[in-house]
Structure 1
Amino acid sequence: MPIAQPTIETLDSLLPAEPLLMMGAGPVPIPARVAHANSIVINHLGDTMARIIGQVQSMARYVFQTASPWIIGVAGPGSAAMEMSITNLVWPGTKVLSVCNGYFSSRFAEMARRVGGDVEVLDVPLGEVVDLAQLEAALARVRPTVLTVAHGETSSTTFNHHLADIARLARAAGCLVVADAVCTLSTTPLLMDEWDVDAVVTGGQKGLSSIPGVSLIALSQRAWERIESRPSAPPHWCLDAKLAAQFWHHASYHYTAPVSGILALHEALHLICQETLERRFARHAGCSTAMQRAIEAMGLTLYGRPDSRLHSVIGIEVPAGIDRKEICSHISRRYRVEISGSFGLDIVRIGQMGEQCRAHHLFRTLHAFGSTMRDLGAQVDLPAGAAELERSLQRVGYDAA
């Protein structure tokens, strides 16, 4: 008996008439140029694509702050870039030390276990950064070949601000350093070469303000030499860095590349280069500080110690008697603003990445968030928060935001 044709709703009936303002922990709003580029399809092995790949690598070297030739794209989310780093640098018996202070740093450890790595976890309390003396002791005890760390742990809104010191200790111990920079790359300084970080991974959908599903990894020459010395092919064919290099460095076939996503990534990187990293870092620091001060002026409490808070994703403690899931549902349903819940912590998270860091987005989000909290019964002073946001943004200048 033939299968009946299903009745499928159109996108018009599935999507809201007014798009949500994406102010959570990612994905983020994308600029019009990026959206337009994502609508174009070209030959993945043609001359135009080869030129685009070269430009993506050149711009990415600036954003990663590396002279390494080993810039490779990944047809997948930031987690696929994480997995490419692990599946190529770790094999059965490789000793791995994973600094874990949240969900995503723990994902590194899980990935390493799945490819046979001998993994030791250095647990750090949520909301805190790793103690360098404890790290040095763990390095001496474990003697790992690979160290993994999240530069920005979005799940707990924690900023491992001393990545340079982490890498220095790892280098002294003869260890390669792999860093997750999905929410920090282009939002806060990360000097890959100067800090001696061997692999930095990022996704398109957060700091870079591109689309989800196309990511980047930058590898040092040391990391590439280890990849070339791998005793056997990695278990994941699509994530084999040497196969990927055939496309990214020799315009040869690996698989059909996500050409539209690469074009979008090209435009996102181009916008970063036009803005310059210095201005972009200042914009993110100024906007995030302004939003944090505004949240506190409303009478709410920020999560985590001030010296370990991310600029790119801020956490707000939920007042007693308020359901964090209801906060996210209410602000989306009534005010058309999307923020994020958490991974077990009683916080909600507001993103401050790329296009999120614009004054008009901040004011709309603050009003929606404060109104939501008031609607749900929390005692907040929304006018005081709005006034503080205005004062703080004036200090950095609206042009910068």
Structure 2
Amino acid sequence: MTDNTRPTDSPAQQRAAATTAAALPVPCPGVDPLTSILPDEPLLMMGAGPVPIPDAVAKANSVVINHLGDTMARVIDQVKSMARYVFQTRSNWVLGVAGPGSAAMEMAVSNLAWPGTRVLSIVNGFFSGRMAEMARRVGAEVTTLDVADREIVSLDALAQVIERTRPEVVTVVHGETSNTVWNRQLQDIVRIAKASGALVVVDAVCTLSTMPLEMDAWGIDVVITGGQKGLSSIPGVSLIAFSDAAWERVRTRTVPNTHWCLDAMLAENFWHNAGYHYTAPVSGVLALHEALRLVCTETLEKRFARHQRCSLALQSGVTALGLQLYTPEACRLNSVVGIALPAGVTPRDVCNHISQQYQVEIAGSFGLPIVRIGQMGEQCREHHLFRTVHALGRTMCDLGANVDLPAGVAALEESLSAAGRR
């Protein structure tokens, strides 16, 4: 071991130096700066999230303030007010979550379910299955209503399984990003579940602010979302809203919550009483504030119209290339567009090539033979669409697939122009 002492050091200094050296048996690593790791040209994030963020959000995310000060309390108050507009709820029980959308999902499940709770999970993809697994892990008695790939649940089958199992909680995903299925009958699903006395939890991670969802009018009890998709904020700070009925179940539960950080009653102390729960991700909350402010400035009506216009134009461009959309139109999710790949072309090949050669990032999907392109928040800009369709077409050509690139770009232009004339 290297002798770090010097002859001029006092005996105490020599002992301290020897002790320090002995306490550091692992050498300091040599690492590369981010500038040598990140690509020279920033990637255009057009996958299933995270999405590009506006400058105001990026600037807010660089600020650190006291998480328990008066300034933070004012920010939190405005975040809750704007979130109520985006959720379309008058509920008082709006909370932030220091974690991804899945953490908000787990907060919903772990606060409403405990050992013996009867839970029905409508499962038509990866993320709806995740809610069922979360319920199992807290000891709930979980029944799954499994739906075939690229289909939506039968309301008759739903009514039958609810009659048979009498669930206390029903979970459902509004937009299943894994296979790009839109549960367009959400209002009917909620109505049937509520008629039996169940509370309904809805995952709106990719749909909130991208398409209509009205928590109060539709009778939903819990809505969860992540910041990094439709809201165009950063990953890692999410939102959840409880109805009065759901909050009453949380408040009166007699079984302790197994999750300390995700205990909604403890979280309330920060989000409603300006008190301590844990050190909040203040920069992320500030970023979320700015993201919500931009949604409110645009208004939900205009935002919904922009998302639909851009997504339909993207779909027109993709089909004109000669590629097939994965999900039937009747239940196709606009927020994330799934594209079936030709034989011999793999999702990994496409995603790697389009990223490395054209600096556009898209996504595969949990073993399905598809790639996915997001249409959420800042992804829904015309210049992003032209770059993405061109890059996708060029990638397919480079990989040997037979596509018509000029036709794809022309169809994209025609769809956007036609939407502008209406």
- TM-score, normalised with respect to structure 1: 0.98
AA paired with 2:59?
Answer: H
| Match among 304, 314, 317 for residue 337 of structure 2 | 314
- Is 1:83 the counterpart of 2:106 in the alignment? yes
Q: Give the aligned residue type for 2:246.
A: A
Matched, 1:124 2:124: no
SS at structure 2 position matched to 1:190: coil
Q: Tell me which residue corresponds to 1:379.
A: 402
What one-letter code is carried by the residue in structure 1 that aligns with 2:216? D
* Amino acid in structure 1 at the alignment position of 2:87: F
Query: d(CA) in 2 for partners of 1:370 and 1:274?
Result: 35
CA drift at 1:345: 1.1
> 1:216 — aligned with what?
239
1:295 aligns to 2:318 (yes or no):
yes
Deviation, structure 1 residue 249: 0.3
Aligned partner of 2:280 in structure 1 is 257
| Partners of 1:46 and 1:324 in 2: CA distance | 48
1:386 deviation in Å? Answer: 0.4
Pairing of 1:2-401 with structure 2 (within 5 A): 2-397=25-420
Instruction: Report the CA distance between 1:396 and its aligned residue.
Output: 2.2
SS at match of 1:250: coil
Aligned length: 399
Once residues 395 and 276 of structure 1 are traced to their aligned partners in structure 2, the CA distance between those partners, rounded to angstroms, is 23
Q: Which has the larger radius of gyration?
A: 2
Task: Give the whole-Å Cα distance in 1 for the aligned partners of 2:283 and 2:216.
Answer: 30
Q: Provide the rounded CA distance (Å) in 2 between the counterparts of 1:283 and 1:63.
A: 16
**SS of the residue 1:177 aligns to:** strand
Alpha-carbon distance in 1 for matches of 2:249, 2:393 = 51
Question: 2: CA distance between counterparts of 1:189 and 1:52?
Answer: 26
Q: CA deviation at 1:229?
A: 1.3
Matched residue type, 2:194: R
Please provide the CA RMSD for this pair.
1.0
Secondary structure at the residue paired with 2:151?
coil
Deviations 1:233-262 (A, max 9, x none): 200000000000000000000000000000
Counterparts of 2:105 and 2:31 in 1: how far apart (Å)?
Answer: 36
TM-score, normalised with respect to structure 2: 0.94
Q: CA deviation at 1:397?
A: 2.5
1:3 deviation in Å?
2.5
Letter in 2 for 1:41: V
Tell me the distance in 1 between the aligned counterparts of 2:240 and 2:347. 34
Deviation sequence 1:275-329 (CA, Å, 0-9, x none): 0000000000010000001111111100111011111000000001112210000
Residue aligned with 2:272, SS: helix
Distance 1:161 1:57 in 2: 27
Q: Deviations over 1:354-401 (max 9, x none)?
A: 000000000000000010001101110010110110011112239x9x
Helix, strand or coil: the match of 2:324? coil
Q: Percent identity?
A: 66
Q: Aligned equivalents of 2:148 and 2:154: distance in 1?
A: 10
Give how far 1:4 is off: 1.9
